[in-house]
Structure 1
Amino acid sequence: MQKEVLYHRPKNNFAYAYDEKTLHIRLRTKKDDVQSVELIYGDPYDWKDGTWQIKKSKMIKSGSDQWFDYYMAEVTPEYRRLRYGFVLMNDNEKLVFTEKGFYEEAPTDDTAYYFCFPFLNKSDVFTAPDWVRNTVWYQIFPERFANGDLANDPEGALPWGSAEPTPGNFFGGDFEGVIQHLDHLSNLGITGIYFTPIFKAKSNHKYDTIDYFEIDPQFGTKETFRRLVDACHEKGIKVMLDAVFNHSGFYFGPFQDVLINQENSPYKNWFHLHGFPVVTEPKPNYDTFAFEKSMPKLNTENPEVKDYLLKVARYWVEEFNIDGWRLDVANEVDHQFWREFRRTVKSVKPEVYILGEIWHDSMPWLQGDQFDAVMNYPFTSAALDFFAKEKITAIDFADRMTNVLQSYPDNVNKVSFNLLGSHDTPRVLTVAKQNKERVRQLYALMLSFPGTPCIYYGDEVGMTGEMDPGCRKCMEWDEEKQDRSLFEDIHKLIRLRSDHPAFGNDGSLSFIKTSNTPGMLAFKKTSSDETLLFAFNTESQSIILEKALFEGFPNTINLWTGEIISPELAVVKSNDFIILKLR
């Protein structure tokens, strides 16, 4: 047995409080090295005749990737404290793995050998808002969604859709336009809107904030925004705003004061300045987002900056009853600021959703004291690599996503923000080389995957676009130019997700390794009430599903067509998917 590969560490994603009574314990082993694993555990104070009293529970294999197997056990300790270890077995060996090392038999003369979960404190349980698990999001880039009020168009605004998007042109999108098209979203099944920045800024993307307390005039007034939020809430749609707290815009008042007054400015410590005079050319001598001189980085460790930004965070929740904050460039802001941010907004409205923009491993931000979730770009990358770019096999996809799912607690995975594209990426249909069948497969995958899914505006009607600025075209409102078939298919998938608990976050996912067919991806979603089988075929020929997948289920319903079919007739056509309810 490969001892050096075994890995466990209490807390984080390997031992965590799933709820107020339940612990999840995970163990990583070398792939195919272990045949069975038992969790040995007990209360550290439970002794009888000088012997520690232990219990045993079989651990289930919760996933496998290219290198590792992962095992999981769910435990409800009677007194909310636990000492534990692992018994591993294969044909040749039995091994007891503890915090202090390896043994042939489980020692019971001292609990100090064992891993420790000291106490399951209620305040340590990771809790994201319950509503997020059942939310389907829609991302709106306000400048390009709809122009409902020509009177507030910015100077030089072009007629809607009359030109290709550029980094500097405007088309007059606004809040009134969103209000006028809310039926489009509710008809699709959308229950949450994520707006990119709406605050006063110079650019069309608004990530260069001038005033965090003011709506950009091209979008409307605060009264218009209040009507928008109220109208969304009446339709059961949550509203999430984009907070750009890593950096401000060039024309942000305090930064302009620095440029004018230099070392005499009272705001000189609001930024990360490398010296005086502060200059922008040929290269800025202050920290910025990337190397963008128009986006000076804010010093969030400065008490004045912190106080200002926390007032912003509180203001939009208190005054307008927004439901979430998406945090731009969240990984470059100090952890302490985000801890105080969470306390601030949750004190106003505990059910606010806090979403961080992080593209890499995010466990340090997801321990219950900072974010509720992050944008799941590892999912985006793997899904596009398999379905759209054909760079990886189904096994590669399953390996990558198993690794992601095992990297976080289950209650984190269920609110992870899943997306196929955004204002920062090429549109999904463009990535898929106009292959609409593959796009349908991608939506079937995203809407059935653990997490909370998001659709980028216009993707539901087949809009295309390369990387920014191409992905920021004006929304196509001419139904003759929309792909209504794609719209209806996505609507149907959203309805299935709503109607079948196992389809969404009430179902636990297990990948299925099918026979040597690199283009066939299959997994089951299982809840207490039902089992669903999802299969995706990217091969050039139809594939008959293996009978072993239906063991114990004599007949099945094709949820997509409503047909009752026998396992012998379960066929997945080329570039298609099938969703079966096993009975």
Structure 2
Amino acid sequence: MSNDAAGDADTTPGAREPGWVEHAIWWHVYPLGLVGADTTGRDRTPAPRLDRLTRWLDHAVTLGVNGLALGPVFDSATHGYDTVDHFDLDPRLGDDAAFDRLVTAAHDRGIRLMLDGVFNHVAAGFGHDDWLRRSRDGRPRTFEGHGALLALDHDNPDVADHVATVMTHWLDRGADAWRLDAAYAVPAEFWAAVLPRVRAAHPDVYVVGEMLHGDYADYVRRSGVDAVTQYELWKAVWSSLSERNFFELDWTLRRHDGFLDTFVPWTFVGNHDVTRIASRIADARHRPHAAVLLLTLGGTPAVYYGDELGLQAVKEERAGGDDAIRPAFPDSPEAVPELGGDPDVLRVHQEMIGLRRRHPWLHRARSEPVSLTNETLVLRLTGGPDDGVLVVALNLADEPLRVEHDGAPAAGTAERADGGWTVPGHGWVVLD
């Protein structure tokens, strides 16, 4: 595979990003949840549960994605984000052979594999006490007040050596990409020192940092990551659709286009840390609109497992409050009806992923509002000079939406009317 990586002086958008990422659409899975492992720490019975996830790869193919973004798979005390050993697969998921089976099955299907690197903090049983960040009284610092998560000292060169070795080790084992958990809490300079060492061995690696807030573009420039998570867009999508206020989304899209001048963000409408999109948007007629936005706007899109089925779940701020949004799945995709949800949502995702695959330039597409009200939005999406143009029309109102455009529907529903198109109330369309 070719690599489009360039030196730090290159400010071209996505300059470091490997060429294959333009075509990537990810299925984001929380493995310990999907396979039904206990995450309280009470039951750590070893079992090759990762094989259950391997059986779900055919569902990913049917969905149309070509990337599998995994939550934590390394040995941890409870939920995966309290790592005990970065070099061992969590025994609740299996052993090295189970990981190898997943890698082989994914690559045989043309699916790239992303691992979740929790390198900001570790479990109390991690060892290497000299690697921990400490307060003035000598006690280990914790991550955001979680007593079981001890913060690593990123000024310690041994920590940098360890992280670079871990990342390279699992890329050697078949991974293609890394998500850096809690990157916002790690100094950008740490990654600027680590990532060149990783890329020296694997120049095609794709690296995404988790950022909840802050200056996204500045962190990308200083750290050397390829992208960061676009939480601003996530919030604007569900909030605009829920409150019927497209002006919020319009404002956010202006910032989003600004990010595209520096890097291509990791985009999503659901993940392992937030209430599901179907629970955020009370009006079921408007839930497909979220998938339409995710899969047409510029970015590297990820679909959180179960969102493509229309599953609902609310995150709660309590012990075990993430369990509902990190559910177990049946043994195989044949049991999808047992999960409930909405079959129409799956069809919309398949339709939109198909459109995205046909128009890979959407990866860096800019958006321009053609018409905008609280309840209606028409966007013109453009790529480079050799790319096409798509028009996305979203209607949250009861009345039909008139769209002036000469093209034809590429997805969704609209009726021809006087040289233009009419989108029904609460409908949507993508015009080619």
Q: Does 1:271 align with 2:146?
A: no
Offset of 1:497 from its aligned partner? 1.2
Return the match for 1:128 from 17, 27, 37.
17
Q: Does 1:442 align with 2:290?
A: yes
Equivalent in the alignment of 1:430: 279
Equivalent in the alignment of 1:297: 151
Question: Which residue identity is paired with 2:170?
Answer: W
Q: Residue 506 and residue 213 in structure 1: after superposition, are their counterparts in 2 closer, same or farther (change >3 A)?
A: closer
Equivalent in the alignment of 1:104: none
SS at 1:535 equivalent: strand
Equivalent in the alignment of 2:250: 398
Aligned mates of 2:143, 2:8 — CA distance in 1: 39
Identity of aligned residues (%): 25
Equivalent in the alignment of 2:427: 576
Task: Verify the 8 A CA contact 1:330 1:357 in the aligned structure 2.
Answer: yes
Equivalent in the alignment of 1:215: 89
Q: Residue 124 and residue 249 in structure 1: after superposition, are their counterparts in 2 closer, same or farther (change >3 A)?
A: same
Q: Residue 520 and residue 312 in structure 1: after superposition, are their counterparts in 2 closer, same or farther (change >3 A)?
A: same
Question: Which residue identity is paired with 1:466?
Answer: V
Task: Verify the 8 A CA contact 2:28 2:69 in the aligned structure 1.
Answer: yes
Bigger-Rg structure (1/2): 1
Q: Residue 386 and residue 348 in structure 1: after superposition, are their counterparts in 2 closer, same or farther (change >3 A)?
A: same
Offset of 1:566 from its aligned partner? 4.8
Give the gaps of 5 or more residues in structure 1: 1-17, 21-119, 148-152, 158-164, 256-266, 277-284
Return the match for 2:225 from 342, 355, 371.
371
Equivalent in the alignment of 1:532: 390
In the TM superposition, what whole-angstrom CA distance separates every residue of 1:357-401 from its partner, at most 9, and x where no partner exists?
0112212221275210001110101101101244xx223311222
In the TM superposition, what whole-angstrom CA distance separates every residue of 1:316-348 from its partner, at most 9, and x where no partner exists?
112x12111101111221222101221121111
Offset of 1:411 from its aligned partner? 5.5
Q: Does 1:542 align with 2:400?
A: yes
Q: Does 1:346 align with 2:199?
A: yes
In the TM superposition, what whole-angstrom CA distance separates every residue of 1:121-140 from its partner, at most 9, and x where no partner exists?
97565321111122111111
Task: Verify the 8 A CA contact 1:465 1:473 in the aligned structure 2.
Answer: no
What are the residue-to-residue correspondences of 1:199-210 with 2, within 5 Å? 199-203=74-78, 205-210=79-84
Aligned mates of 2:118, 2:308 — CA distance in 1: 27
Task: Verify the 8 A CA contact 1:389 1:431 in the aligned structure 2.
Answer: no
SS at 1:422 equivalent: coil
In the TM superposition, what whole-angstrom CA distance separates every residue of 1:29-66 from its partner, at most 9, and x where no partner exists?
xxxxxxxxxxxxxxxxxxxxxxxxxxxxxxxxxxxxxx
Task: Verify the 8 A CA contact 1:136 1:190 in the aligned structure 2.
Answer: yes
Task: Verify the 8 A CA contact 2:257 2:367 in the aligned structure 1.
Answer: no
Equivalent in the alignment of 2:53: 178
Task: Verify the 8 A CA contact 2:209 2:227 in the aligned structure 1.
Answer: yes
The number of aligned residues is 412
Aligned mates of 1:499, 1:224 — CA distance in 2: 34
Aligned mates of 2:197, 2:284 — CA distance in 1: 44
Offset of 1:403 from its aligned partner? 2.1
Task: Verify the 8 A CA contact 2:309 2:341 in the aligned structure 1.
Answer: yes
SS at 1:524 equivalent: strand
Q: Residue 567 and residue 129 in structure 1: after superposition, are their counterparts in 2 closer, same or farther (change >3 A)?
A: farther
Q: Does 1:232 align with 2:85?
A: no
More helix by share: 2
Q: Does 1:509 align with 2:367?
A: yes
Aligned mates of 1:561, 1:379 — CA distance in 2: 22
Give the gaps of 5 or more residues in structure 2: 316-321
SS at 1:359 equivalent: coil
Aligned mates of 2:85, 2:221 — CA distance in 1: 32
Question: Which residue identity is paired with 1:402?
Answer: R
TM-score normalised to structure 1 length: 0.66
Q: Residue 520 and residue 300 in structure 1: after superposition, are their counterparts in 2 closer, same or farther (change >3 A)?
A: same
Tell which deviates more after alignment, 345-354 or 368-377: 368-377
Equivalent in the alignment of 1:520: 376
Return the match for 2:311 from 456, 463, 470.
463
Question: Which residue identity is paired with 2:19?
Answer: D
Equivalent in the alignment of 2:263: 412
Q: Residue 168 and residue 439 in structure 1: after superposition, are their counterparts in 2 closer, same or farther (change >3 A)?
A: farther
Offset of 1:521 from its aligned partner? 1.0
Larger RCO: 1 or 2 (CA < 8 Å, sep 6+) = 2
Q: Residue 474 and residue 169 in structure 1: after superposition, are their counterparts in 2 closer, same or farther (change >3 A)?
A: farther
Offset of 1:271 from its aligned partner? 2.7
Q: Residue 443 and residue 196 in structure 1: after superposition, are their counterparts in 2 closer, same or farther (change >3 A)?
A: same
Task: Verify the 8 A CA contact 2:31 2:50 in the aligned structure 1.
Answer: yes
Equivalent in the alignment of 2:123: 249
Return the match for 2:357 from 480, 498, 502.
498
Task: Verify the 8 A CA contact 1:192 1:240 in the aligned structure 2.
Answer: yes
SS at 1:386 equivalent: helix
TM-score normalised to structure 2 length: 0.88
Q: Residue 167 and residue 444 in structure 1: after superposition, are their counterparts in 2 closer, same or farther (change >3 A)?
A: farther
Return the match for 1:326 from 159, 176, 179.
179
Task: Verify the 8 A CA contact 1:166 1:470 in the aligned structure 2.
Answer: no
Tell which deviates more after alignment, 234-243 or 336-345: 336-345
Offset of 1:531 from its aligned partner? 2.2
Equivalent in the alignment of 2:64: 189
Question: Which residue identity is paired with 1:497?
Answer: R
In the TM superposition, what whole-angstrom CA distance separates every residue of 1:451-507 from its partner, at most 9, and x where no partner exists?
0111111111121111123212223644253432211221111001112345x2264
Equivalent in the alignment of 1:560: 411
Q: Residue 411 and residue 230 in structure 1: after superposition, are their counterparts in 2 closer, same or farther (change >3 A)?
A: farther
Question: Which residue identity is paired with 1:191?
Answer: N
SS at 2:208 equivalent: strand
Q: Residue 507 and residue 363 in structure 1: after superposition, are their counterparts in 2 closer, same or farther (change >3 A)?
A: closer
Question: Which residue identity is paired with 1:398?
Answer: D
SS at 2:136 equivalent: coil
Aligned mates of 1:339, 1:420 — CA distance in 2: 29
Q: Residue 362 and residue 526 in structure 1: after superposition, are their counterparts in 2 closer, same or farther (change >3 A)?
A: closer
Offset of 1:539 from its aligned partner? 1.3
Q: Residue 235 and residue 465 in structure 1: after superposition, are their counterparts in 2 closer, same or farther (change >3 A)?
A: same
Q: Does 1:483 align with 2:345?
A: no
SS at 2:200 equivalent: helix
SS at 2:80 equivalent: coil
Q: Residue 409 and residue 383 in structure 1: after superposition, are their counterparts in 2 closer, same or farther (change >3 A)?
A: closer
Equivalent in the alignment of 1:137: 26
Task: Verify the 8 A CA contact 1:142 1:174 in the aligned structure 2.
Answer: no
Question: Which residue identity is paired with 1:223?
Answer: A
In the TM superposition, what whole-angstrom CA distance separates every residue of 1:73-111 from its partner, at most 9, and x where no partner exists?
xxxxxxxxxxxxxxxxxxxxxxxxxxxxxxxxxxxxxxx
Equivalent in the alignment of 1:51: none
Aligned mates of 2:279, 2:109 — CA distance in 1: 32
Question: Which residue identity is paired with 2:310?
Answer: G
Task: Verify the 8 A CA contact 2:34 2:326 in the aligned structure 1.
Answer: no
4+ long deviations beyond 4 Å? 120-125, 165-173, 561-564, 566-569
Aligned mates of 1:167, 1:376 — CA distance in 2: 32
